[in-house]
Structure 1
Amino acid sequence: MSDLDYLGRHDTRLEFQRVVNAARFIDQSGALPKLAALRAKMRAGRGAGGRPGSVTDRAILVVLFLLATEHEAMHLTLATHTVRRRLDAASLRYLELHRFDELSEVQVYHRLARALQTLIAPCDPFRGPRRKRLTFAEYEQLVNSRDIEAVERLNDVLHEIVNDLVFSSANADGGQWIAQTDGNFAFDGTLIKAGGGRGTDKKFGRYVSSEPDASIYFRDGDHSGTDISAGKKKFAKHAFGFELTLATMTDNFRVGRDGEVHQQEMPHVVVGIGWDGASRAPGRNAIRALKSVPAHGLPVNLGLGDRAYYSGAKTEHFHVFASAMGFKPVTEYRVDQLGKQDDYRGALQVDGWWYCSTMPKNLISATKDYKDGLIDKKTRNKRVEARRKYAAIRKSRPDSEGVTRWSHPVNLGHRCNPDRKDADLFCTQKTISIPLAAGLKHAQEFQFESPEWKAAYNLRTTVEQANGGLKRGSTHNLGEKEKRRLRGRTAQFVLAALVVMARNIELLRLARRKQEDVEFAKSVARKKELRKSMPYNSARMNDDEREEIEKAMAART
């Protein structure tokens, strides 16, 4: 035995119980039977084929998942090393890796590689050669050969299978946290870099990326580059890869009848994910992630998203589906979308809410005037508060056809005379039914910039924290393409899902520790409050100034 053996983590044995626990998430997800059904459908009408593979879908997923829980690169070489050196005889039998301890590393590697290909093949909507760089003619032929409708159908099935895996991790620890959620979910996309960074030259056809289904992401604008001039595009900051959209569970949130906000802290686990080329179709990708919420029987309440979705996505791609699932929008707007957005039978939609048409113009334009620098923040807040007397009262939730009943504001007195010549149905009838199509794109659950809206929209930071946690270099480092060397859009999606699962388990483990250790929970809460109270220039503080703030926070908690 060499004196170099057993000095690193790669040489430590994995306990049998740890392998069992990892396999439990794969087994309980329900993904394996769906994969088997897809494979049977794909092979229907064919002959018996060759000898069955020696590595099951379950085994390859468990081995890769174990690497993800250790923050390791999910390379087949590391998976091979895990099987050969780190799993004991009981674990090999449990994963049905019979006599693998007698095989060489090369033999194990090839068996695992074939198993991964077998796993992905039946659910891969974007099939194509992976071991060569395509010429542009071959690339065009590949794209033109794909049946768009068939690709979309299989892509939906792929997302269903992957989200079953993700949800199994979010539902861990007896499902106690999932059972407590009141249905608030934040969603956002993040760039996951891929190989072949130049992308594909679609203008002149000089080269094709080794990842032809990935796309270029621009940091500015809507990230697609379509809103950047040709002269500036060459120098704009950009990257190449896929877009991972996360739907995370937020804190429980409720507004009481007195207007007071009530919040209950929850672990911000990811319950659904979507996968597409970077900045290709953010709205559709968000829907793929959000579908996991009702599909797994979770309640649906607030849907918290930024301008890329409610403001930027096409209504038929995002808003119609999100509304049908029951999500209540909480979002913000581009400057050119502020103020009056729609009208219906005498009701004005202003910043996502319906108002009486007699509302003064300076109140209608309050938020836009502030963004344009015409008024200060204090004036804007006063005008937003003054809007409340003109605000319509929602009398019902959308029915099966999306129709909502709204009542005219009361106590307007002489401000709204129903007998005036230009009075429409909203002012004369007092209650109207507003169809789904009217104001759907810009609708809000709360009046924009109100205290309730601000408190709710702050919950969206949970998905930003999830993005940061997955990409943190000291842990999962999902943004590092060298940790995911497999080619293919579907293969990359499966690996990303396993990393999301690993992080969910870490979050639930942290939540359980805070439940069991009161002092630890207090310490976490103090640090959280301290971060909130620290000025932006805290790095320039001296020790006395920082100590003074910490003492004040300790006294408060």
Structure 2
Amino acid sequence: MGHTKTNQRWYNNTVRAFHRLNTLLDPYPQERYTSKTYEQIQEILNNHDDARAVKYKARLDEYTRLFIHMSFMFQPRHLRRASARLDVSFDQTYIGTPTTKGYSRRKLKNKVAEERQAGNMGTRSPGPVDAFAGWHVKDGPRTDYQRGEIDQTAPDSGTNKTYDWGWVANLAVRVDSEAPGSKRFPRLVVAATISIPNKEVAEEAVGLLRSAISLGMKPGVADADKQYWAGSLPTRLLEPALKTGFTPSTEYRVDQLGVKGGDHGALFVEGDAYCPSTPRSLLDASKDAQTGVIDIPTYKARIEGRKNFQLHVKQKADANGKTMLRCPALGLSPTVVCPLREMLAKAAKKARPLVEPETLDEEALDTICRKHSASFDLSEMRAPQQAFEFGSDEWDKFHDHARNGVESENSQLKAAGDEDIETAGRRRVRGVSAAQIMVTFLLVNHNIRKIAAFLSDKIKADAKTFPADTDSADTTRRRDRWANKYIGTTGNGDLRT
């Protein structure tokens, strides 16, 4: 009987301690023991304190950041510093809730009205348990509602999309832009949060980047799919991300390819600024490739040729995204020959692409053609500037490595034999904060397991490359490998030498 009471006491103490912790971190407090009517769900939403939620969400994310930082520091120093910069790839992945019945905020008002009418007749069916979850779109474009907006995402009849009621884990994984695929260090989760689907996706991504730089490494490249960089307003993602020091790497939608605006006479094309006299075939290379007008070898050749017309960096971008660029026919290493720069054209020692005189309209010349340099705001580009030339072999290699890296980690974290963060059965507690507390433990376990596996594989590889000297190996049985320092004998009775 004493054993049973001891077990019960420890269980109760653990449960109470967990709920005390959860109370200090929960941005969305509510009663979660019973199902709610839609009218009760509406009342919970109306009484929600947004200011309190922001404060407690920051506290919850800080809790996760510190645990992940601790697991990252488990690595030996040579692994942490294998790369001079911290490169990351980030994405969202679905995690389930203990209760799967959801609701649509778009239809909630009508549901409440129907429920009140049914209540007068004595039949009111219970609705969901958790008011603060959402519908995750598994196979379609992601929506991103800002703070204060109502999430309109809900399953609709007649569509082929698949929806799941729950939350999403926002994960940033360490990747390698200097040597993609070289496996110089274990691929670890370096930042994580949990959020309601479709809400503040861009802001959650910025939070991941800010959390990642707290590891103390210099920010490098931040890779993500086109629903992030190419789908978010610059004020929500690009501008705050540039202030953290990370440089984007992403794909573009078809409507973002080709010339999309410009400044000081230069043309903005897929994250870079180009000479206004760049041939049209080079400017439209990506668009023509995606629409099937040209084949891949032709596309690669045009991308390579387009580099010559790209404006040169005179001064790197500052924290606000401002940078000084100059004409490609200027500087110590000009890449084109322009009639407007006659002296440089005569001094050129090797053949370079020539700007055709008929493309120059002196009355329409802007700053980039008349002055030595001009200031550009990178955040004004409709397609964000990238770490690598979009479409180049270097870009292809890194982007494939980065996307495969984060998707592989998502699959491993959801694998049934290990952490299995998607299954709510691993987290028999309700609420997004409780889920994040439990998932944080699982992420730490994942990172430590990856570090141990990486070191084990390295030892095995070294053993194959540099086999031990069998002549000098100690063949004494393990049970005899001890020595008595008082009488001077070893485990097998021999005198110590």
TM bucket (normalised to shorter chain) is 0.7 to 0.9
Q: In the alignment, does 2:61 pair up with 1:137?
A: no
Question: Residues 186 and 303 of structure 1 are in contact (CA less than 8 Å); yes or no, is this contact kept in structure 2?
Answer: yes
Q: How far is 1:520 from its partner?
A: 7.2
Question: Residues 79 and 184 of structure 2 are in contact (CA less than 8 Å); yes or no, is this contact kept in structure 1?
Answer: no
Distance 2:256 2:463 in 1: 45
Task: Indicate the residue corresponding to 1:186 in structure 2.
Answer: 89
TM-score with structure 1 length normalisation?
Answer: 0.70
Question: Residues 72 and 188 of structure 2 are in contact (CA less than 8 Å); yes or no, is this contact kept in structure 1?
Answer: yes
Counterparts in 2 of 1:227-242, with a 5 A limit?
232-233=158-159, 235-242=160-167
Question: Residues 344 and 438 of structure 1 are in contact (CA less than 8 Å); yes or no, is this contact kept in structure 2?
Answer: no
Distance 1:412 1:227 in 2: 54
Q: How far is 1:412 from its partner?
A: 3.0
Q: How far is 1:122 from its partner?
A: 1.0
Q: In the alignment, does 2:292 pair up with 1:373?
A: yes
Instruction: Give the counterpart of 1:446 among 382, 385, 388.
Output: 388
Amino acid across the alignment from 2:72: A
Q: Report the more deviating stretch, 378-387 or 429-438.
A: 429-438
Per-residue deviation, residues 194-246 of structure 1 (Å, max 9, x unmatched): 2332311431336642232121111233234979995543x421212111111
Q: In the alignment, does 2:57 pair up with 1:155?
A: yes
- Aligned-pair identity in percent equals 23
Question: Residues 221 and 246 of structure 2 are in contact (CA less than 8 Å); yes or no, is this contact kept in structure 1?
Answer: yes
Aligned residue for 1:511, secondary structure, equals helix
Amino acid across the alignment from 2:406: V
Task: Indicate the residue corresponding to 2:174 in structure 1.
Answer: 249
Distance 1:229 1:146 in 2: 25
Q: Unaligned stretches of 5+ in structure 1?
A: 1-83, 85-99, 255-260, 523-557
Per-residue deviation, residues 164-216 of structure 1 (Å, max 9, x unmatched): 11121121034442233321111111111223323114313366422321211
Specify which structure has the bigger relative contact order, considering alpha-carbon pairs within 8 angstroms and separated by 6 or more residues: 2
Task: Indicate the residue corresponding to 2:121 in structure 1.
Answer: none
Amino acid across the alignment from 2:96: K
Question: Residues 274 and 286 of structure 1 are in contact (CA less than 8 Å); yes or no, is this contact kept in structure 2?
Answer: no
Structure 1 residues 262 and 429: alpha-carbon distance in aligned structure 2, compared to 1, 3 A threshold:
farther
Amino acid across the alignment from 1:313: S
Q: How far is 1:521 from its partner?
A: 8.2
Instruction: Give the counterpart of 1:295 among 214, 238, 247.
Output: 214
Instruction: Give the counterpart of 1:513 among 426, 437, 456.
Output: 456
Structure 1 residues 404 and 521: alpha-carbon distance in aligned structure 2, compared to 1, 3 A threshold:
farther
Aligned residue for 1:434, secondary structure, equals strand
Distance 1:521 1:283 in 2: 47
Question: Residues 80 and 185 of structure 2 are in contact (CA less than 8 Å); yes or no, is this contact kept in structure 1?
Answer: no
Distance 2:210 2:366 in 1: 39
Distance 1:436 1:449 in 2: 19
Task: Indicate the residue corresponding to 1:168 in structure 2.
Answer: 70
Distance 2:444 2:464 in 1: 24
Distance 1:444 1:161 in 2: 32
Q: Report the more deviating stretch, 198-207 or 440-449.
A: 198-207
Q: In the alignment, does 2:351 pair up with 1:426?
A: no
Distance 1:409 1:253 in 2: 26
Instruction: Give the counterpart of 2:323 among 381, 387, 404.
Output: 404
Q: Report the more deviating stretch, 135-144 or 240-249.
A: 135-144
Amino acid across the alignment from 1:335: V
Question: Residues 378 and 384 of structure 2 are in contact (CA less than 8 Å); yes or no, is this contact kept in structure 1?
Answer: no
Q: How far is 1:469 from its partner?
A: 0.8
Counterparts in 2 of 1:189-204, with a 5 A limit?
189-202=92-105, 203=107, 204=110
Question: Residues 269 and 383 of structure 2 are in contact (CA less than 8 Å); yes or no, is this contact kept in structure 1?
Answer: no
Distance 1:328 1:412 in 2: 30
More helix by share: 1
Q: In the alignment, does 2:25 pair up with 1:123?
A: yes
Q: Report the more deviating stretch, 175-184 or 478-487.
A: 175-184
Amino acid across the alignment from 1:458: D
Instruction: Give the counterpart of 1:273 among 192, 200, 206.
Output: 192
Counterparts in 2 of 1:76-155, with a 5 A limit?
103-155=5-57
Q: In the alignment, does 2:392 pair up with 1:392?
A: no
Task: Indicate the residue corresponding to 2:436 in structure 1.
Answer: 493
Amino acid across the alignment from 2:284: S
Instruction: Give the counterpart of 1:457 among 376, 399, 423.
Output: 399
Per-residue deviation, residues 497-537 of structure 1 (Å, max 9, x unmatched): 11111110011112212332225788xxxxxxxxxxxxxxx
Question: Residues 201 and 208 of structure 1 are in contact (CA less than 8 Å); yes or no, is this contact kept in structure 2?
Answer: no
Task: Indicate the residue corresponding to 2:489 in structure 1.
Answer: none
Q: How many residues are matched?
A: 417
Amino acid across the alignment from 1:215: G
Task: Indicate the residue corresponding to 2:269 in structure 1.
Answer: 350
Per-residue deviation, residues 442-474 of structure 1 (Å, max 9, x unmatched): 221221111221222133121111111101122
Question: Residues 304 and 329 of structure 1 are in contact (CA less than 8 Å); yes or no, is this contact kept in structure 2?
Answer: yes
Amino acid across the alignment from 2:167: F
Structure 1 residues 228 and 197: alpha-carbon distance in aligned structure 2, compared to 1, 3 A threshold:
closer
Structure 1 residues 334 and 476: alpha-carbon distance in aligned structure 2, compared to 1, 3 A threshold:
same
Distance 2:183 2:425 in 1: 39
Task: Indicate the residue corresponding to 1:80 in structure 2.
Answer: none
Question: Residues 268 and 274 of structure 2 are in contact (CA less than 8 Å); yes or no, is this contact kept in structure 1?
Answer: yes
Q: In the alignment, does 2:410 pair up with 1:467?
A: yes
Q: In the alignment, does 2:223 pair up with 1:304?
A: yes
Aligned residue for 1:362, secondary structure, equals helix
Aligned residue for 1:348, secondary structure, equals strand
Amino acid across the alignment from 1:513: S
Question: Residues 405 and 434 of structure 1 are in contact (CA less than 8 Å); yes or no, is this contact kept in structure 2?
Answer: yes
